[in-house]
Structure 1
Amino acid sequence: MSTYDKLLSATLSHPPDPNEPLPMSNRKATIFGTIVVFLAISWLAVVFRLWVRLRVVKEIGWDDVFVVAAQSLNTAAAVVVCLSVEAGLGHHMLYLGPGKIENYLLLFWVEHCIYLGNTALIKIALLLQYLRIFKAGVMRWICIGLLVTISLWGLAFSMVGWFACFPIQGTWDRTVPAKCYGFGFGDVPGFIAAFKAHSASNMMFDILIFITPMILFRTPHLRPKNLLAMAGVFTFGAVVVTTSVWRLHGIVSTKGGTYPYADFTWWSPTIIVLSCLEVDLAIICASMPIFWPIIERSFVAIFVSYEVKVVEERVSDCGLMHELEHMKTRDRGGSVKSNGTSTRELTNDEEEIGQSRKCPYTVGFDPLDEEAKTAGLKTEIQSKPREKWQL
């Protein structure tokens, strides 16, 4: 008799109450409502992220590709989880019947393997995003080291998940004679150890990725609004880490759904929902630094006054150099782009840098002067915050 059959026999000897009321976490409305709502919010974050990268910054990157891939897999996993609810998730497995149990095990195998790969994809996306910031130095090498390690970690656990039994059909059809290990439930200790190993390592990598960019807080002359924005992003990242810790606690306390008795469909809803939320929150956290500056500038633009100033720009070698340096930005309609290691956008040094780059031939002039016939004209609209006392 297999270990799986022994557990079922032990459950049959002390069956759970078939009329036991469903906990809040096991109810269909709770599972559907939580998963669908957070999936929709994460899609909004991804769409807004892509809009900023494609229409505003006009510079798509590999981090965006991995975020889209992670969100696509996240959507597929959410659909499978909803299907598993119809297959018996949230109810006592003993009363589902052999057909429904097999269907549930198949759906759980698919959603769990997607989760194993997706946790690695979203971490890779975040690290690729960090590489936009850290262009050189020790922090860049730390990010590259984490990138390689997490890629191998995700590949290894994905292989263990997808090929937990030989033949693979033995993963969900327990009547097929198969050699299983780890997530394939060859034995109880190995099954529990596999879940604990992935959850613990996943939590560890979440913490490492969370604390890696905190060095940005050491940036000199950091502006208060950027300090608050960064603190908000890191606080949201802390929620992701907390979700990962909560999931690990659920796996340890229920021993992978086998304690106090084997009932995978009854003990798993909270763990499965937390798995989906962890990926949703990580995707939202990865997208926030991309689109938040656009939202901030949009709100600021509503509460500003404008003044017009006419200046002269003479075409010279200096002007040509200035044009080449900023051609990319002008073509983008004046969009602002973060260029990695430089933290100029976070500090108060922009005016000094701008003044040092000014062409010495750019001066004010009289538009009625004869010289205006050969000089170029430019109209600048400069914004100035409305005074607090002004109505």
Structure 2
Amino acid sequence: MDGPAPDHALDGESRVGSVIALSASTCAIAVFAVALRFWSRAFFSKSFGMDDSCILVAVGPPSLSHTELNSVFYSSIVLYCVALITVRMSFLFFYRRIFPSPTLRKVCMWFIVGNGLWGTASICLNLFNCAPVQGFWDFTIPSKCVPPEVVWYFVSLTMVITDFAILILPLPAIRKLNTSPGRKMVLIGCFSVGFLTCLLSLIRLSSLKTAANKTDPNWDYVDAAMWSVAECNVAVFCACIPTLGPLVTGIKRYSLDSSQSRKLQQAAMEWANRDLHPPRELGATDLESTQRSHATQASEPLTIQSETGRSEKEGR
């Protein structure tokens, strides 16, 4: 099967800058969030779980630096599925870890099993989309393929629906927590950050139509590949945000202790200064008055001399 003729009108254009910028920035955000997560685990909560293991698997985004972008796009689809599956697993294991509700923990386990089965099925659908498999990226060999847009749209739509379900799963449990309304809103806000992933999933979904055309794969696959990388990295970032509570609490406690220490040092210095320079009490005031009177008397001889001279004149 001959490959489609490329669009030579695009020969003078390049999207390397966009690919590098989006991939590098979102990857840096994801790595930074994972580093903060493990710092929080190591020094504050001092415990690790399956949710942390899953996020480590998910943090490796699909690469876009291969010579043949169409074959890399094929592998990136599989890595994309693996990354999002493990991010969901991380969310669900984290729910089971922090929420004591038996019902929620049971529902999370159902989601974990379902997510694993669905993830395996989606990977197989993408891996064996063409027979032979090489027909997906090598258009010069005879092959039979399921229309890729059918598989991509099905997988992406089910991912978006699953993401929404997982993100709203802890909201009833948060409402029942015995804590202040303000703290509940903070928790809801932390978990709601995950809706950014849903937004990027929808953007990626719109880019799949261009990728499915295959007019010029090296050009048409770029949008879908970039948004796949961005979605995976942002999903990792969103999964790390709710786990940073111990880190934030520790930083607040450290800053509070530091401010209190500075206040104590300042108070100690003030007391030391008071010891060196005692306050002006009644006795001190009398002493100063006496010293001033002595100073005045010391300056009076001139007046006395003048009065003496005047008296001597009067006597004469």
Query: Secondary structure in 2 aligned to 1:174?
Result: coil
Aligned position for 2:136: 171
CA contact (8 A) 1:71 1:283 kept: yes
1:114 corresponds to 2:114: no
Q: What CA distance in whole angstroms lies between the structure 1 residues aligned with 2:93 and 2:121?
A: 20
The 1:268–1:167 alpha-carbon spacing in structure 2 relative to 1, beyond 3 Å, is closer
1:211 corresponds to 2:181: no
Aligned position for 1:295: 248
Deviation at 1:234, TM superposition (A): 3.1
Aligned pair partner of 2:55 in 55, 67, 72: 67
CA contact (8 A) 1:66 1:125 kept: yes
Aligned position for 2:152: 195
- For 2:150, give the aligned amino acid: A
Greater Cα shift, 190-199 or 168-177: 168-177
Deviation at 1:215, TM superposition (A): 1.4
1:286 corresponds to 2:256: no
Give runs of ≥4 in structure 1 deviating > 6 Å.
Answer: none
Spell out, residue by residue over 1:120-143, the C-alpha distance to the aligned partner (whole angstroms, 9 max, x if none).
Answer: 111111111111133443222221
Structure 2 counterparts to residues 343-382 of structure 1, below 5 A: none
Q: What CA distance in whole angstroms lies between the structure 2 residues aligned with 1:136 and 1:198?
A: 31
The 1:28–1:18 alpha-carbon spacing in structure 2 relative to 1, beyond 3 Å, is closer
The 1:224–1:306 alpha-carbon spacing in structure 2 relative to 1, beyond 3 Å, is farther
Aligned pair partner of 1:42 in 30, 37, 61: 30
Aligned position for 1:156: 121
User: Which of the pair has more CA radius of gyration?
Assistant: 2
The 1:156–1:19 alpha-carbon spacing in structure 2 relative to 1, beyond 3 Å, is closer
> TM-score of the superposition, structure 2-length normalised?
0.73
The 1:66–1:220 alpha-carbon spacing in structure 2 relative to 1, beyond 3 Å, is closer
The 1:63–1:220 alpha-carbon spacing in structure 2 relative to 1, beyond 3 Å, is closer
Cα RMSD (Å): 2.6
- For 2:159, give the aligned amino acid: N
Q: What CA distance in whole angstroms lies between the structure 1 residues aligned with 2:33 and 2:41?
A: 12
> TM-score of the superposition, structure 1-length normalised?
0.60
Q: Which has the higher contact order (CA 8 A, sep 6+)?
A: 2
Q: What CA distance in whole angstroms lies between the structure 2 residues aligned with 1:136 and 1:217?
A: 10
- For 2:244, give the aligned amino acid: F
Query: Secondary structure in 1 aligned to 2:84?
Result: helix
Deviation at 1:217, TM superposition (A): 3.6
1:53 corresponds to 2:45: no
Q: What CA distance in whole angstroms lies between the structure 2 residues aligned with 1:235 and 1:120?
A: 19
Deviation at 1:224, TM superposition (A): 4.7
Deviation at 1:31, TM superposition (A): 1.6
Q: What CA distance in whole angstroms lies between the structure 2 residues aligned with 1:39 and 1:57?
A: 26
- For 2:9, give the aligned amino acid: D
- For 1:117, give the aligned amino acid: V
Deviation at 1:306, TM superposition (A): 5.1
Structure 2 counterparts to residues 1-391 of structure 1, below 5 A: 2=1, 5=3, 8=4, 15=7, 17-18=9-10, 22=13, 27-72=15-60, 74=61, 77=62, 80-81=63-64, 83-84=65-66, 87=67, 103-178=68-143, 180-182=144-146, 190-252=147-209, 254=210, 256-258=211-213, 262-303=215-256
More strand, by proportion: 1
**Identity level (%):** 23
Q: What CA distance in whole angstroms lies between the structure 1 residues aligned with 2:207 and 2:133?
A: 27
CA contact (8 A) 2:81 2:119 kept: yes
Spell out, residue by residue over 1:252-309, the C-alpha distance to the aligned partner (whole angstroms, 9 max, x if none).
Answer: 4x3x431xx72333333222222111111111111112223322431343245659xx
Q: What CA distance in whole angstroms lies between the structure 1 residues aligned with 2:260 and 2:138?
A: 70
Q: What CA distance in whole angstroms lies between the structure 2 residues aligned with 1:41 and 1:181?
A: 37
Q: What CA distance in whole angstroms lies between the structure 2 residues aligned with 1:262 and 1:64?
A: 41
Deviation at 1:202, TM superposition (A): 0.8
CA contact (8 A) 2:136 2:145 kept: no
Query: Secondary structure in 2 aligned to 1:17?
Result: helix
Deviation at 1:205, TM superposition (A): 0.8
- For 1:181, give the aligned amino acid: C
CA contact (8 A) 1:257 1:263 kept: no
Spell out, residue by residue over 1:173-225, the C-alpha distance to the aligned partner (whole angstroms, 9 max, x if none).
Answer: 333344x433xxxxxxx221011111111111111111111113413553255
